[in-house]
Amino acid sequence: MAEPVEDDCVRRLRANDAEAWEWFVQAYVQPSLESVRRSLPHRLRARVDGEDVIQDALRRVVVWLRKYDGHDIHRVARVFRISVTQRAADELRKHAAHRRDCNRDVPAPTSPTEQDRADVCAWTLAKDRTKWPV
Please give the domain boundaries of the chain with CATH numbers for all domains. 6-100 (1.10.1740)
pLDDT at position 56 over 60: yes
In whole angstroms, what is the distance from residue 93 CA to residue 102 CA? 18
CB 53 within 8 A of CB 84: yes
pLDDT of amino acid 123: 61
pLDDT of amino acid 76: 93
The string of pLDDT tens digits covering residues 18-43 is 999 999 999 999 999 888 888 888 77
Instruction: Return the higher-pLDDT residue of 78 and 71.
Output: 78
Rounded mean pLDDT of 122-128?
60
C-beta neighbour count of 4 within 10 angstroms: 18
Rounded mean pLDDT of 90-109?
65
Q: Which of 12-16, 41-45, 128-132 has the highest average model confidence (pLDDT)?
A: 12-16
Rounded mean pLDDT of 119-133?
59
pLDDT at position 124 over 60: yes
Q: Which residues contact 92 (CB under 8 A, 6 or more apart)?
A: 40, 41, 44
In whole angstroms, what is the distance from residue 130 CA to residue 134 CA? 9
pLDDT of amino acid 134: 46
Which stretches within the chain are classed as H helix? Answer: 6-14, 18-24, 30-39, 42-45, 50-67, 73-98, 114-131
Please give the angle made by the CA atoms of 2, 49 and 85, to the nearest 5 degrees: 65
Question: Which helix (H) or strand (E) element contains residue 103?
Answer: none
Provide the pLDDT confidence category of residue 102 given band limits of 50, 70 and 90. Answer: very low
pLDDT at position 93 over 70: yes
In whole angstroms, what is the distance from residue 114 CA to residue 2 CA? 80
In whole angstroms, what is the distance from residue 48 CA to residue 44 CA? 6
